[in-house]
Structure 1
Amino acid sequence: MCVRQDACLGVLLGSIGTDVNTGTQRLTFGVIELFDGLSLPVVAMGLFRVSEVISSVGRVEDAGSRNKVSFRSMIPTRDDIRRSLPAWLRGSLLGSFLGAVPGVGGAIAAFAAYAVERNVTRYPEQFGKGAIEGVVSPEAANNAAGQTSFIPTMSLGIPGSAVMALMVGALMIHGIAPGPRLVSEHPDLFWGLIMSFWVGNLMLLILNIPLIGVWVRLLTIPYQVMYPAILMFVCVGAFALNNSAATVYFVLLFGLLGYGMRSLDLPAAPLLLGLVLGPMLEENLRRALVISQGDFTTFVQRPLSAAFLIATVFVLAWVIWGAARERELAA
């Protein structure tokens, strides 16, 4: 039983294509472009880019007020630093912990850090009106979660967020399997990734702070100019994947799906995680059953696998119980 409908949909979409064991076509409906399954970039571009364009059509914003940010206005005062340091530490610790939990991601860490700051702050009346703790702590949690989400991705092959799901897909396209043997089999890739953290953060400082005025001015470009350009680049990128117009149609289809999920307040990240993890789950499940000759008790014969399964059952039971209790309280 799947707890989230969007994650279940992602697992179902991941089963589209040719079965590697039997060669049977599954859910392809005779469409040749689906024989190899759905491409991860196609789904990601539709869910995150096209849906954003659709949901933003008709939105009116005052772009002129965004041109007032300067480098001097970003320099914090002594009072800002005094109030920011504790919030920064709390957000970093919370984000580091939640980022290492598979599937959580930076968004949940940021919301959790904001909730913590609202409970511990001495200035509750300022929250929602520009309290610096409400900005520093979620941003610190988001950045920390972005770093620690690499832990389950690289060590277990389980994406820690939607971005990590894209990275896992990119590695698998190049024949690299994330997991415990990644460090020993591809040490150049692993340590190069570690060094990219240092280089990336240094480049962020060099590019973001001195050029803040330039980036803000880019935001003043009218939406009616930006969105056609975004759609054009998305369509060009989709067509370039396999030189097929059907790929562009799939992107637009998933854009409509993403817009519908936004309207229902359903996040797209679980669907993307299900799309990545679904084929991996099926492949390893069937491999284990082939080795054990169809004996399902093989999953509980080893203490480690049995402990993981028991913990999974308890987590699912707790989530289902919490959801049922919320429905009872709402009724």
Structure 2
Amino acid sequence: MSPNLIPKTGSRTALDPQIQTFLTQNSSLQLGGTDFLAERKHHTQVFAFHNHPPILQASIDHVEFTAIRGPHGTIPIRVFYPRSGEEQKQSRDAAALIYFHGGGYTVGSVDEFENGLRILAEESGAQVYAVEYRLAPEWQFPTQLDEYLAVLEWVQGKGGAERGVNPQLVCGGGDSAGGNMTAALALRVKDGKGGRAQPMRAQILLYPEARIPFDTPAASENNSGIYLECNGIFSFADHYLPRGTPPSHRYISPGMQPISSLRDLPAAAVYTNGFDPLRDVGVEYASKLDEAGNQVVWHHFDTLPHGFLQMAPWSEKAMKATKQVGKDLGELAYGK
């Protein structure tokens, strides 16, 4: 979008009825409640691909389970190869998306995001590398960014070369906390602290936690009862931050950084939702990136909540939004 056309806050209309039905049928499903260990189990029971009825399982050409040795130990990686990207793979010109899932740094696994990532792969023609990174609070910042960087270097290097990936077409992406880490890694590489890694082709930010939403209309409007509990975001931040690391740290809260320090970043696609406590910090970050002169694609879904990628099988509007992410990924990666 052109500079200054992205607002500072978002809006909401009426919650998608199919999402409302899903949330009603899964009334105990929440993110950011009082027991993150129970949430880990419950999310796997509801969202894991192997628990989906076959009719809801998105198809893919094939899936590879692999791993690399990272700075903190083995990093499991699940690679989704789309049928739509076979020609690019064979010509060694395939795009790739490294994906760090959401869950407040604390909850979640690749199993829960597989269905949505299959859709992104087929819609874009890009291979998707979903990372089973180490979770907080057992592992804190910067462990996760270290692992993200290790995977980026691997996909841009030997790992991607062996799979037909063009190292110039490697994107990073994630939702919620994963969006935060993607934005942070883009800054880290820009700052010359990315080791051998080159800048990402693009950053795909689904409802990112660009900063803590303590002062936004969305934090009040969507405080509780719509899947993501706003006040629980503070607990997740506490899990992630070591003592002595301020929340304003450049690689903790990209959305708090001045516009002058956000120039010359990879193209960004940012997605925000009306019924999401992170709505306005995501809109704000998209606006800042835009004002800084970066290429920004912004989509706002005013009837959807946080987590639409996982909820796509149960909602036509969430499915449409997920496919839009895949379409944008293909355009940004391949320059279509």
TM norm structure 1: 0.26
Which structure has greater strand proportion?
A: 2
The structure with the larger Rg is 1
Larger RCO (alpha carbons 8 Å, 6+ apart): 1
